[in-house]
Amino acid sequence: MFKLSAVAVTLAAASHVLAHGGVLSYSWGGQWYWGFKPYNTPTGQVTIQREWDTYDPIQDATAATIACNNAGTALPSGQQLTATAAAGTAITAYWNNPWPHPYGPMLTYMANCNGSCDSANAKDLSWFKIDESGLISGTVATGYWGSGKMIDNNNTWTSTIPSCIPAGNYLLRFETIALHSQPAQWYPECAQLTVTGGGSTVPANTCKFPGCYSNSDPGRRRLKPPVVSETPLRLYPEHPIFHPLCQKRWRHQPNASVSATL
């Protein structure tokens, strides 16, 4: 089991960048969707993204706004949009360029609003994970993480809506977690979608935000650091990925072992 304190000590010296940020826009199907503009007044902003008011990270895994950032609520009527995307669509999120934090995972979650997302409270919804990339290669302190891959991909990350989930209204939550400091830095943002097509498979292994993560060991996994990994490091083993093609679900191997050197 590994705690963020163990990672933060070794990563603290690896980053001298204090800048922050988040998801600024999205694209799919040849369409572009601007996100909310932090530091601008919410009045008059029209977007599919829920409100988030600062580039600063969330640094408490149990924060009431960990689901969709602060404030993470829907905009007033006439300003909050909900975009349409077919099940199986690949959606690309765009972070501010350049993203300054290369050490940490990328995660994507969805939650069914069970009705209109405009009136849904994100912390009451059941979230399921559709994408994740942790430590891809190298060591925890200096290795190649999912966030580094996002940076190399022009500060973008693409996740696919599972093809078999029921049609309906969903929140889509892109997130990166920066592990260079103690406490960790969570950067989640949410967009509102109407998913069309799909099937009848209701994802299991859901969790609540707050509740999905813990301050004591939010980077929990089955291996102990420092680690040299030849395969992607998967975080939060209690939350398996719901496979985008609905053919299988990724499962953690509780007895997996790798060589450990730093």
What digits encode the pLDDT tens for the residues 189-248?
999 999 999 999 999 889 999 999 988 754 433 222 333 333 444 566 667 888 776 765
Q: What angle do CA 59, 60, 62 make, to 5 degrees?
A: 155
Phi-psi map region of 98: left, alpha, beta (phi>0 left; psi -120 to 50 alpha): beta
CB 180 within 8 A of CB 15: yes
pLDDT for 66-118, tens place per residue?
A: 999 999 999 999 999 999 999 999 999 999 999 999 999 999 999 999 999 99
Backbone φ and ψ of 146, nearest 5°: -55, -40
Q: What's the pTM value of the predicted model, to 2 decimals?
A: 0.84
CB 165 within 8 A of CB 199: yes
Provide CB contacts within 8 A for 116, sequence distance 6+: 169
CB 177 within 8 A of CB 186: yes
Query: Where in 67-222 does DSSP place strands (E)?
Result: 83-86, 90-95, 106-112, 127-133, 135-137, 144-145, 156-160, 168-178, 185-196
Secondary structure (3-state) at 19? coil
pLDDT for 14-50, tens place per residue?
A: 343 347 999 999 999 999 999 999 999 999 999 999 9
CB 24 within 8 A of CB 156: no
Task: Please give the single-letter amino acid code of residue 35.
Answer: G
Local structure of residue 74 (DSSP, 8 states): P
Distances (CA, A) of 43 to 36, 52, 73, 119, 121: 11, 13, 14, 18, 21
Q: What angle do CA 203, 207, 213 make, to 5 degrees?
A: 140
Closest C-alpha to 223, from 261, 169, 196, 192 = 261
Can you tell me the distance from the alpha carbon of 158 to that of 160, in angstroms, rounded to the nearest whole number? 7
State residue 238's pLDDT score: 64
Query: Where in the chain does DSSP place strands (E)?
Result: 23-28, 31-34, 83-86, 90-95, 106-112, 127-133, 135-137, 144-145, 156-160, 168-178, 185-196
Domains of the chain: 1-169+210-251 (2.70.50.70)
CB 92 within 8 A of CB 55: no
Provide CB contacts within 8 A for 178, sequence distance 6+: 57, 101, 103, 104, 147, 184, 185, 187
pLDDT for 119-146, tens place per residue?
A: 999 999 999 999 999 999 998 888 999 9
